[in-house]
Amino acid sequence: MKKELQDKLYNKYPKLFYQKDLPMQQTCMCWGIECGNGWYTIIDNACRLLQHHVDSSRKEKARILRWNRMLRQAVNGNTKNLHKYFAKAYGEEKGEEETKRQILKRDFREVKETIPQLQFVQVKEKYGTLRVYTNYVDDYIDGVVNMAESMSAYTCEICGVPGKLTGVSWYHTLCRRCAKERNVDYDQKEEDDDT
């Protein structure tokens, strides 16, 4: 990827690309984003989704801790914060009723661990499609990475328009025009493995 686009991603998502400045003994990210410019939008959208996932897990934990603290105070006799919370949402009278109900219910919420800050270990092209390797994975992260990798198989790695995976021994995802410029047979059929 050209330096301007790569730097744009680095500046927009500094936490995800933290490893870019580490030595090659510690990460492969030191070589930069090793793919064509056409996949910039795919990578940008994946970064946005992944960083939002990490940030929202931290915000959710803070909300749960604040709720549990207000409820604990109310159970111990200090209903001021919990009442203010419900009065703001429902109005004064309904807020008082809801405060009493929550004290009786004592619905303390489970505090989940926050997701550690996700970092890319390597972003590159391999066998004609995008590959993204991270320092941490959960189901959501795995889904976003798989989606980005799948989209790259239908997006020209050079210009970003719709394309297809081409090649027999060396694979590229290219549009018809970029395949022609590189002398790659766009309509070439893959050989069967049985032959």
Please list the pLDDT of the chain residue by residue as tens digits (195 residues).
Answer: 999 999 999 999 999 999 999 999 999 999 999 999 999 999 999 999 999 999 999 999 999 999 999 999 999 999 999 988 888 888 888 888 888 888 888 889 888 888 899 999 999 999 999 999 999 999 999 999 999 999 999 999 999 999 999 887 789 999 999 988 888 777 765 444 444
Query: So what's the pLDDT on residue 97?
Result: 87
Query: So what's the pLDDT on residue 184?
Result: 79
Candidates 34, 28, 29, 27; CA nearest to 5 is: 34
Is the Cβ–Cβ distance between 31 and 120 less than 8 Å? no
Query: So what's the pLDDT on residue 193?
Result: 44
Query: So what's the pLDDT on residue 194?
Result: 44
Query: So what's the pLDDT on residue 20?
Result: 96
Strand partners, 134: 120
HSE of 85 in the Cβ direction (CA atoms, 13 Å)?
18
Q: How far apart are CA 168 and CA 189, in angstroms?
A: 8
Query: So what's the pLDDT on residue 195?
Result: 42
Please enumerate in sequence order all residues whose Cβ is within 8 A of that of 193, keeping only pairs 6 or more positions apart, or say none: none
pTM of the model: 0.80
